[in-house]
Structure 1
C-alpha cells in the first residue's frame, strides 16, 4: 500500500519582513521543487492456522482456496493416521506442518498460535465446512483496528447448511448465557472461524484443550476489553467424512468452562493431558 506526498515549493517572499526592511532588501529563496516522496505503509502479515486430523480427503480443497493475502499457512496435525500431511505438502509446497501438543482442537489451535509469525492470525477448519475466501473479510476487519473478529452464522448474509436442531438450540442457549453473564452481545458462539491479532494472545492466556476454546477466546476477549467484531459467515456441509464435534460432550465442556471463568479459581490447569503419539525420545524426528 503506497501513498504519494508532494513537497510544497517555497513561495516567493513579498511585503515587509517585520523589521522595517523593504521587499527588495529581503533575500529571496529560489523556487525549490522537491521530488515527490513515496511513503510505503506496512501491510500486516497474515498467518492461517488449520487444525487437521485425518482430513486427507478435505485438506486439498481448503488449501487451494486460501486467498493471496495470506503469507503463512500452518497445518497442525492431530496425529493423523491417513495422508493428511502428505496431501497438504503436495497441495501447497510452502505449507508449514507441525504436530499438535496435547489432545483436542484447543490443543491444536494453541500449538498453531505458538508457531505463527503473522501480525494477524485466522483459524479455519480443515473439513471444508468454511469457505476460505471469507478470510479476506476477517483480515479487513482486523486491519480496521479490531482485535478479535468472529464469524457469525446468525448475521445477515450468514447462515449454515449444517446446523442440526440440537446444535442450533445448544448454541443459542450458550450465546444467551454468555451475553447475560458477561454483558456482551454476541450473535454466535460455537463457531471456529475467527481472526485475531497475534500480539493479543498473551492477554487471553488460553488453556482449553477441546472445542470449548472458541468460547474461551470470546469471553477472555471481553474480560480483556478487546475490540471485538462479528462478520457474516456461511457454514458449509463438510466435504467428506464425519465431524469430530460431539454436541453433548462438547456442550458440557463449554458449560464447565463458563462456570470456571466466573468462579475465583486458578485459570491454568495443574495437569496437561498429553497424547503418547506426540512424544518422541530426545534426538529423534
Structure 2
C-alpha cells in the first residue's frame, strides 16, 4: 500500500439494531476516527437508520432483504483502500479494530478474519448451542473440500483490501455471505490472516436474526454450490466414482450395443425417455448416410460400412441413466 493516507471504510450492515447501532458508530469514531462509517439499513422498522445518522454515519437504504444483498451493494458503491466490516449488534470489539486492519495496511494480507473461537470467548458468551456446532461443521467441510483450515468461518468481523473487495462476486443473498467470503479467499489463493478477537453476546433486548436450522441449510447449500462452480472437475470425478461404485455393488454393467434389428436399447414402457431413443433410432433409419443421399435407399444398419449409424443409435443409450441392456 502506498505511503499516502489510506482510505478506510467501516461497513456496518444493519437490520433493526436500534439498541446497539449508536455505540457501534461511536466506537468507530473513538478507535478509528480516520475511517468513514457506512451504515446500510436493510428495511429496519425501529429507527436504526435515523440513530446511525445522528451519530455521524453515512446511511444508505438497501431494499433487497438479506445480508448478502447488503454487502454486495456496499462493495459496489464504496471505494476504499481498506474495508473493515462488522455487524451492527455490538458483539464485536471495535477497540481491536487496528489489530484487525493492520495486515491489510502493511500489505501482508488481502483478507483478515476476526477469530472469535481461539481464545474461548465465543464459547463462554454465546448462548445458542446450535451456532457453535454449525460453525464447526462448516469449518470441517471447507477443510475437506478446499484444503484450508479456518479457526472461525461464521464471524462477521472481517477486513479486506480494494482488490479483494472489487473482485468478489457476491452470489449469496443472506447470511451465507461469511461462508462465501471464506471460500472465495481460499479458492482464489488470496493471502489470509486470522486475528483472535474477543466476543461478547448481544445486550438484553437485542435479538439475533439468524435462524440456526434454515440459515444453516442455506450455508451448506452454498458450500456445495460454490464447490461445483469453483472445482467442476472434482464434482465430475466424484459423480463418476459414484456410478462406478454403484455398478460394482449391484453387479450390473451397461452395454451400449443395440439389438440386431437396430431398434436401439430396451427401454421400459411408460418411461418418459423412451421417446428420445425412439426418435434418435428413427432418425438414423430414415435419413441415409451423406454418402448415399440421392440414391433412394438408406443404408442397411447391419452393413459393416455403416457402423457409424449403429454407433449413433448405441450412443443414445447413454441418455438413459440406470437402464441396463443384457450383453449378447
Using structure 2 for the length normalisation, give the TM-score.
0.65
Unpaired runs of at least 5, structure 2: 233-328
Q: Which has the higher contact order (CA 8 A, sep 6+)?
A: 1
Counterpart in the other structure of 1:6: none
Counterpart in the other structure of 1:279: none
Pick from 212, 215, 218: which aligns with 1:250? 215
Pick from 195, 207, 218: which aligns with 2:159? 195
- Give yes or no for contact 1:203–1:224 (8 Å, CA) kept in 2: no
CA distance in 2, matches of 1:157, 1:81: 34
> CA 1:69–1:229 in 2, change beyond 3 Å: closer, same or farther?
farther
Counterpart in the other structure of 2:135: 171
Unpaired runs of at least 5, structure 1: 1-39, 268-285
Q: Which moved more, 1:209-218 or 1:147-156?
A: 147-156
> CA 1:127–1:107 in 2, change beyond 3 Å: closer, same or farther?
same
Counterpart in the other structure of 1:126: 88
- Give yes or no for contact 2:32–2:98 (8 Å, CA) kept in 1: no
List aligned pairs for 1:136-215, cutoff 5 A: 136-145=98-107, 146-156=109-119, 159-160=122-123, 161-162=125-126, 164-215=128-179
CA distance in 2, matches of 1:158, 1:42: 37
- Give yes or no for contact 2:121–2:200 (8 Å, CA) kept in 1: no
| Structure with the greater alpha carbon radius of gyration | 2
CA distance in 2, matches of 1:84, 1:217: 26
Residue 237 of structure 1 deviates from its aligned partner by 1.3
Which 4+ stretches in 1 moved above 4 angstroms? 264-267
Counterpart in the other structure of 1:52: 14
- Give yes or no for contact 1:46–1:70 (8 Å, CA) kept in 2: yes
Residue 110 of structure 1 deviates from its aligned partner by 1.5
* 3-state secondary structure, aligned to 2:67: helix
Alignment coverage as a number of residue pairs: 226
CA distance in 2, matches of 1:234, 1:188: 12
* 3-state secondary structure, aligned to 1:111: helix
